[in-house]
Amino acid sequence: MASSVSSSAAPEKLTVMGAGLVGSLLSLYLARRGHAVHVFERRADPRRAGFQEGRSINLALSDRGWRALEGVGIADDIRRVGIPMTGRIMHDQLGNLTRQPYGQDGQAIYSVNRGHLNRRLLDLAEAQPTVQLRFGQQCLHIDLKQQHLHLLDTATQQEHTEPYTRLFGTDGAFSAVRGALQKTDRYDYSQHYLEYGYKELTIEAGPNGTWQLEKNALHIWPRGQYLMIALPNLDGSFNCTLFFPYEGAESFAALPTPADVTAFFARVFPDAVPLMPALTEEFFAHPTGSLVTIRCYPWKYDDDVLLLGDASHAIVPFYGQGMNAGFEDCSVLNELLDQYGDGAWPTVFTEFQAQRKPNADAMADLALYNFIEMRDRVADPRFLLQKKIEAKIASQFPGRWTPLYSQVTFSHTPYAEAWAAGQRQDAIMARLMPHIQSEADFDQPAVQELIRQEMAVRPSSAS
Amino acid sequence: MASSVSSSAAPEKLTVMGAGLVGSLLSLYLARRGHAVHVFERRADPRRAGFQEGRSINLALSDRGWRALEGVGIADDIRRVGIPMTGRIMHDQLGNLTRQPYGQDGQAIYSVNRGHLNRRLLDLAEAQPTVQLRFGQQCLHIDLKQQHLHLLDTATQQEHTEPYTRLFGTDGAFSAVRGALQKTDRYDYSQHYLEYGYKELTIEAGPNGTWQLEKNALHIWPRGQYLMIALPNLDGSFNCTLFFPYEGAESFAALPTPADVTAFFARVFPDAVPLMPALTEEFFAHPTGSLVTIRCYPWKYDDDVLLLGDASHAIVPFYGQGMNAGFEDCSVLNELLDQYGDGAWPTVFTEFQAQRKPNADAMADLALYNFIEMRDRVADPRFLLQKKIEAKIASQFPGRWTPLYSQVTFSHTPYAEAWAAGQRQDAIMARLMPHIQSEADFDQPAVQELIRQEMAVRPSSAS
């Protein structure tokens, strides 16, 4: 693919700060274009040290992520260790289950293990002769004028300076590269935390590595002001995440003892508790993670520094798009290099941030929007009815109504367009739903007439 | 005043980082309560080094600021070097003048020199036996757990560590203290820049130190998308500030040469140009300042660090409230210490941020709102008519309609309440003004009836 274009400019020595998911994928892309890539990572090599991080263990890979992996030819490899989840299964407080498909037949998001994916990407990057990975390199300071990184080798405790010509900041939500940009004049920046934290817990595998809940689904225990989710692992277990207020009547602060935790879970997640024998132990041993949204601009400094992934747009996890958006950054950058040529960094950087910033902002909004949907609305029969009606409209008007979730998850429509279309659809459904009490009402002539009117007003803008 | 209360708790050693306007006033307040105050300031002593800063030279002191100065007994002293400005004078492109009073007879905001005020506050602070000022102390790092400041003495280039028990961060918009808080978990922070910069220029004094424009006014050249203002100095000159887009057809970027500047000013500020002989020289010699709004939360860390002034709530200058809000922080903190006693720091810090945060947010919004008003709306005859009608309503309903500007500038009503009342007034005026074409229309029976209805619906909420 891209290698045909890389000959348009001389190979360069490029520097990548951060070898997490986005940094390792980016390095692979840049190396395949013929460049020499020096990668510095604060942590130890996860392939040697064992994966140790406070971040979520499971991720949901969807179409944007897959396309980026296909771009470097490793999608099939990863798909073999992913578990397709074709829909949500909601668990109510009595243990009753409700199923909601994510898309059409054959569409799914994939539960993959963050550590596995990161290690695989690092192996592939390292296999490139022009990629050099250096771990345990903490970025202490960046001199943007002189263009050098001031690094601490955490193993030897020696400080050293590394010059760079082109620096890519893929060092995550607490990016040191962005930290340097943030101190330049007229730098817009915000970090905003939810009043919710998260706790990772485990549903154990059943006998012989069987799954004790339906394997091919994302499980949700929506409880209005909070929720728990579970994603399947290959070994039969599920990784659960409780998203829960820090303070209040039902909150982390209100559960100070194992007895409190046991009583609370038995009351609100009764069907899950028997599957979580390590519940109280994990609850107090695992850290409570915080949930931040980061927005900033610009994403570049002059023509020589560019931010990608969480470094420029960390989002809350409720749409499962954090990694997918970061991977899409890599595809988009690669496409721009195809379009303008590898020598045209100034144009590519400028185009990249102009294209991606509105999409990152939209995705941040979507992720916050889906928090409300997942913790609250999916437990509402009216909401589930609305989703069924939307699916019927989509069938009736092929290509003219793509549900928001599908646009975000199963398409490559820019996030900002998807979000705008989703808001128009919400407005239409708000007018329509008062006339609909059951799935059968969809076929009522009066309802059909209303739908025709709505679709006629904005023939192409609803999807 | 407060000294009677300070006996309720043992004097403490307190640390203040930043000896600008808010830091020096705060030190004075704390010292008068009986505490030992160690003040560290990054810059050299402005009383020795001469005042050298990129910040605006003139400030508009209004009631909140005066009250804070009265609290330490120095209001009269400062008032002698302030110039009262009783209203705005708008200059149109033909040189025609329009006057708009700020408040009622006797009400004024005061043009004061930042450097003079800062030096005077430092003199007074230093005269307190328990205040120790140390200049040229750059804060490199703060260890919040160990409670010590890591400082660089800029004169000797020696680094040193200073322990603190209670630290007050009054080190401005780019606060090092806030920088340390910002790295703690769940810290909400944003810095947002306007697409406008500012340039400070001078209208020279006339013969024998006379003022070439009306002395007791704030002059505005509103031009829709940009504006220039001028504040009087004691020596007969005026400090002008041009607020101007960075980019675009009329912008800093569009004026690269002295000839461009001269032509532009001659076209849009023709009455000012003859009074500005150093125009082009100053335009290229003076830096272009940027305009930031900073919001963060919390303002405290545990019970031992508290942010005040621009460190926690830097705002754009268009309401003339930046210093006044910072000074009000000092009065409010002093009142809380009166109320709870000097030993009750945890309660005082918690109450302080709970009270002040919504007011700081409202003031930030007000400052942005007033940018639009000053650059655009004050040039609109309909807007000026509306202001006259509002003044008539205020006279007709004493105590029930205080114009927003007066609430912000000439009252101690919390900013958030003022802003909410101002928005209600705007809504009422939007309904009323279509029925009013001249001042005389105010007395029309139909208009009077409408006003009575509006005032009856919300008898006390409009002011």
Q: How many CB atoms lie within 10 A of CB B338?
A: 17
For chain A, helix (H) and strand (E) counts, in that order, are 16, 19
d(CA B335, CA B194): 34
Predicted confidence pLDDT, tens digits, chain B (463 residues):
344 444 456 889 999 999 999 999 999 999 999 999 999 999 999 998 655 544 567 899 999 999 999 999 999 989 998 999 999 999 999 999 999 999 988 899 999 999 989 999 999 999 999 999 999 999 999 999 999 999 999 999 999 999 999 999 999 999 999 999 999 999 999 999 999 999 999 999 999 999 999 999 999 999 999 999 999 999 999 999 999 999 999 999 999 999 999 999 999 999 999 999 999 999 999 999 999 999 999 999 999 999 999 999 999 999 999 999 999 999 999 999 999 999 899 999 999 999 999 999 999 999 999 998 888 888 899 999 999 999 999 999 988 999 999 999 999 999 999 999 999 999 999 999 999 999 999 999 999 999 999 988 754 444 4
- Entry pTM: 0.90
Angle subtended by helix axes A415-432 and A445-457, to nearest 10: 150
Half-sphere exposure of A140 (CA within 13 A, CB side): 12
Q: Could you tell me if B40 and B17 are in contact, meaning their C-beta atoms sit under 8 angstroms apart?
A: yes
Q: What confidence score (pLDDT) does residue A56 get?
A: 60
* Chain A closest-CA separation from residue B117 CA (Å): 27
Evaluate whether B117 touches B21 at the Cβ level (below 8 Å): yes
What is the Cα–Cα distance from B264 to B244, expressed in whole angstroms? 12
Q: Which helix (H) or strand (E) holds B376?
A: none
Alpha carbon distances (Å) from B245 to A18, A181, B55, B269, B375? 36, 22, 18, 16, 12
Which tokens hold the place of A223?
């409880």
Helical axes B63-71 vs B322-340, angle rounded to 10°: 40
Please spell the DSSP secondary structure of B188-256, one letter per residue. EEEEEEEEEEEEEEEEPP-GGG--SS-SSSEEEEE-SS-EEEEEE-TTS-EEEEEEEESSSSSSGGG--
Report yes or no: A167 and A15 within 8 Å, Cβ to Cβ.
yes
**In this predicted model, what pLDDT tens digit does every residue of A83-99 receive, in sequence order?**
999 999 999 999 999 99
C-alpha dihedral (A345, A174, A121, A79), degrees to nearest 10: -110
Closest CA to B403 of B423, B385, B375: B423
Instruction: Choose among B188, B86, B177: nearest CA to B140.
Output: B177
CA distance A243 to B444: 61
Which residues, at least 6 apart from A238, have a Cβ–Cβ distance to it below 8 Å? A202, A203, A211, A212, A213, A219, A230, A231, A232
- Cβ neighbours around A49 below 10 Å, total: 11
Contact (CB<8Å) A189/B189: yes
Give one DSSP letter per residue of A382-444, joined into a string: HHHHHHHHHHHHHHHSTTT---HHHHHHS--S-HHHHHHHHHHHHHHHHHHGGG-SSGGGGGS
Q: What is the pLDDT of residues B167-196, one digit of tens each?
A: 999 999 999 999 999 999 999 999 999 999
Bond preceding residue A258 cis, omega within 30 of 0: no
Q: Which residue in B22, B53, B55 sits closest to B125, CA to CA?
A: B22
Give me the pLDDT at residue B48, please.
Answer: 86
CA A203 to chain B, closest CA, distance in angstroms equals 28
Phi, psi for B115 (deg, rounded to 5): -65, -45
Distance from CA of B361 to the nearest CA of A (A): 15
| Residues in B touching A187 (Cβ below 8 Å) | 191, 193
- The pLDDT of residue A463 is 47
Search chain A and give the residue with CA nearest B297.
A192
Instruction: Report d(CA A28, CA A47) in Å as an integer.
Output: 17
Tokens at B413, concatenated: 């009503």
Q: Which among B256, B205, B246, B202 is positioned nearest to B226, based on CA atoms?
A: B246
**CA pair distance B69, B331, nearest whole angstrom:** 9
Residues of chain A with pLDDT under 70: 1-9, 49-56, 458-463
Alpha carbons A426 and A393: distance in angstroms, whole number: 13
**Strand pairing report for A13-17 and A166-169:** parallel
* Residue in A185, A189, A290 closest to B186 by CB: A290
**CA dist., res. B189 & res. A248, Å (int):** 23
The predicted complex's ipTM stands at 0.86
pLDDT at A457: 73
Other beta carbons less than 10 A from residue A202's beta carbon: 20
Q: Which of A185, A191, A246 sits opposite B189 (nearest CB)?
A: A191
Best A189, A194, A361 member to test B by mutation, with max B CBs in 10 Å, is A189
- Residues A213-252 have pLDDT tens digits of 999 999 999 999 999 999 999 999 999 999 999 999 999 9
Supply the pLDDT for residue B8: 53
The residue of chain B nearest to residue A194, with distances taken between CA atoms, is: B186
Per residue in B381-433, pLDDT (tens digit) is 999 999 999 999 999 998 899 999 999 999 999 999 999 999 999 999 999 99
Q: What is the pLDDT of residue B3?
A: 41
